[in-house]
Structure 1
């Protein structure tokens, strides 16, 4: 179900570093890690979480930076799936930040 602007704002307030992409139905976060191997390891963990949730982010890796974008393409909107996966990603990041 499509989230309202108020629900999106409230959800983003609970997340770490996620921002809405203007009025587009996308939230984004960039994670900086110590190096390439940590970035790849994080992406592997995100892939497993995404498979479990059956919801897949767009991921771009640039050496030690992982750029993430979430949107529910089938709805053409942001949904609870996006906020839930973003929260799960937030839980995974600290394990790779050293």
Structure 2
């Protein structure tokens, strides 16, 4: 069983191996609110205003940089949609790796600590 605390303790590593489809439900269970959207995982965060939204982006910037795993982000007035996938898996076609869930757990921790 995968735990959120296990993901928080890990560091993203270069990988060319996607997660097995059968393992995805366990990883999704460890990162509540994240959903699979084809070859990526996605979560929407809600905020009171644009300032909070941008503060969140700034707060997660260090983690994203330190993990060297960069998501696609859609930023609006009071919402940020984050999409993670790993471009190096599946012979460069992309897909979901453990790195996506490591970063998802770390971003969730920042949100819970500062914005919920």
Assess if the C-alpha contact under 8 Å between 1:41 and 1:96 holds in 2. no
Deviation at 1:5, TM superposition (A): 1.4
Give the match for residue 69 of structure 2: 55
Deviations 1:22-76 (A, max 9, x none): xx21000000011111110111122111000000011111101001000001211
Determine which of 25, 33, 36 is the counterpart of 2:50.
36
CA distance, structure 2, for counterparts of residue 78 and residue 92 of structure 1:
22
- 1:96 counterpart = 2:110: no
Give the match for residue 39 of structure 2: 25
Deviation at 1:83, TM superposition (A): 0.5
Normalising to structure 1: TM-score of the pair?
0.91
Q: Paired residues, what number?
A: 95
* Structure 2 spans left out of the alignment, 5+ residues: 1-16
Deviation at 1:2, TM superposition (A): 1.1
Deviation at 1:8, TM superposition (A): 1.3
- 1:46 counterpart = 2:64: no
Normalising to structure 2: TM-score of the pair?
0.78
